[in-house]
Amino acid sequence: MATVKEMRVRIGSVKSTQKITKALQMVAAAKLRRAQQATEAARPYAQRMSAIISNLAAGVSGPSAPLLLAGTGSDKRHLVIVATADRGLAGAFNGAIIRAARQKIAALIAEGKDVKILTIGRKSRDGLRRQFGNRFVESYEVGLKSPNLALVQPIARYVLDQYTGGQFDVVTLIYSRFKSVVTQIPTVKQLIPAEVEKADGAGPAPFYDYEPDEDTILQALLPQNISVQLLSALLENQAGFFASQMAAMDNATRNAGDLINALTIQMNRTRQAKITTELIEIIAGAAAV
């Protein structure tokens, strides 16, 4: 049986843990708000860009279409980009992405594809290294700053260089879609060849003139689209990460509170038992005289 003093020390330590989780929770809540704003602010660009691309794509199907849109005609060699956060303490956030990545990679390998992996974020690198380390081609970190175009451009450049160099046929991105503060969905998305949304039934697309010409525009647009897709994935990841961290830390704070209550009751009982024992001893001693 632990002594009262030991229990008091234990309660103290749980209390300081609780202070830390509480602080982390509040920091995550504040950062979540900013990350959410950034995610929403970045959305119009991505939407309009994919609208332009689907307009253009409708006009340039066939053998003359650029590689990024039409693909290489094979689907043997895959590059899987796995994006997580750098840090943990966020519940199942990173784990869920890594699990989705493992499934996807295993499925591709089972189909006999040649799979390479590019990781963004320290957790995806650590989480996949043991099983698939020999398939890594490159690892990037997200860093402390909020994701911006300058962060994703080197990654996009690397992917494009490899793709145009004929290293891969299909590039897939795995990240966590930020659906709401309580739901983040690990999502598998094909980056190259570009997935073009079918034009919705809003009537025929207007007939555009192109300046300089369709090919030049597509060749400028499609690489930029890769950067933008990566950026929006990282922004969604970031918002999801903070949301998940906030929930995890809220839970941890509550658990610490429960533990403190239980320990306090136990401590009081022990102290009471000790006092009672002492009293009985004194009374027994007095009665014996």
Partner 1 sequence: MADKILFELVSPEKLLLSKAVDMVTVPGTEGYMGVMAGHSPLVSTLRAGMIDMKDEGVDTRFFIRGGFAEINPGKVTVLAEEAIPMSEMDLAILDQRIADAQEDEIAAKTDADRARAAQMVDDLKLVRAAF
Please report, as ranges, the residues that interact with partner 1 according to CB under 8 A: 38, 41-42, 44-45, 48-49, 51-52, 55-56, 148-149, 161, 206-212, 216-217, 220-221, 224, 227-228, 231
Residue closer to partner 1, measured from CB, 38 or 243: 38
Smallest gap from Cβ 138 to partner 1, in A, equals: 17
CB of 29 to partner 1, least distance (A): 22
Q: Please state, as a whole number, how many other Cβ atoms lie within 10 Å of the Cβ of residue 252.
A: 19
What is the C-alpha radius of gyration for the chain, rounded to an integer number of angstroms? Answer: 28
Closer residue to partner 1 in complex, CB, 155/170: 155
Q: Closest approach of Cβ 27 to partner 1, in Å?
A: 23
SS3 257: helix
CB of 37 to partner 1, least distance (A): 9
130, burial (CB in 10 Å: exposed 0-12, middle 13-18, buried 19+): exposed
- Cβ distance to partner 1 smaller for residue 5 or 200: 200
| Closer residue to partner 1 (CB): 216 or 277 | 216
**153 vs 48, 71, 90, 161, 200, CA distance in Å?**
19, 21, 27, 12, 31
CA 53/CA 224 separation, integer angstroms:
11
Cα 190 to Cα 170: distance, rounded to the nearest angstrom:
8
Shorter beta-carbon distance to partner 1: residue 56 or 115: 56
Compute the distance between CA of residue 273 and CA of residue 13 in angstroms, rounded to an integer.
Answer: 24
The answer to whether the CB of 226 falls within 8 A of the CB of 220 is no
Least distance to partner 1, CB of residue 209, Å: 5
Shortest distance (Å) from residue 42 CB to partner 1:
6
In the bound state with partner 1, the residue whose beta carbon lies nearer, of 223 and 240, is 223
Helix (H) or strand (E) holding 4: helix 4-59
Task: Read off the tokens for 185.
Answer: 């969905």
